[in-house]
Structure 1
């Protein structure tokens, strides 16, 4: 290698040694829903979307972690957090969630939800939040946190009631309308013991 090439290489190394890599800034959007609005934050590096409801009647925050495959919702009125597996068929893709939310805004200010998913809340409390990702850990830390299972995929053993049928009362459900795209219902389980055959 010629002497001038070595000098040029050293000059480039010295010039750029203090240059830090540029981190992409999260994307923020304010989406009008019903009588209020929701704040959508998307971090494409960590594969996380956060939706915070800012309506006057209720307050909640949901984290969609596309990396770990979990969704968590903090319901302020109930002082509780629910964690469940993300159904990637129902959930909008991270790359398109902002565009879809903007397209689904209703001119009249009404909420129009295109998909619904219902979760049944288990009796199982989650004690260790670290395996669900740092954003979910931060969201649910210090709150009573329960695992919730999708209605059609619920495993009675996971609900803590083997040998029983699980029902829920429609009035026991807490509804989250996420960005006019997705309706999430969290419903309290009512366990009915199965009759013993004699």
Structure 2
């Protein structure tokens, strides 16, 4: 309906309902509003969502080159960065969650080998980071991306990355998260239901 009612829009996105299967709780993501979308915001954190939460008109998808075949990780993140830089980009946010995602901790499909993630981070830094603000934002987000596979595997190693985020941001919240992860990664995951 949104696509039919807004022919000028070439990008539609929405929240997702995410279920933490092993922990027994779910939450709904909270994407930013269209007027807040910028390279700086996306470099700080992907607050739009992954491929299941977006729709792109074919001509724009092809114009920006689609998903990168050069990356083995973070292809959707790279895609969003390309997308928001296009001068014809016009977004519309649907308020209701239209995607249902399940996440399983301690699953072998979430590899803690971050080699491809680090390569993708280096690629993104080289291709999209142009200013001091962008560098600061991306340095923080890179630590989140490196922490993710470890926290999903309930590994205390994720605490290292959260501590690095604390050093970059001086945010007490990040320091508390680092300590909670160090004590119990499972507890840290369970706290997500309150955040």
Fold shared per TM-score above 0.5? no
Structure (1/2) with the larger helix percentage: 2
Q: Relative contact order: is structure 1 or structure 2 higher (C-alpha 8 Å, sep ≥ 6)?
A: 2
Structure (1/2) with the larger strand percentage: 1
Between Structure 1 and Structure 2, whose CA radius of gyration is higher?
1
TM-score (norm 2): 0.28
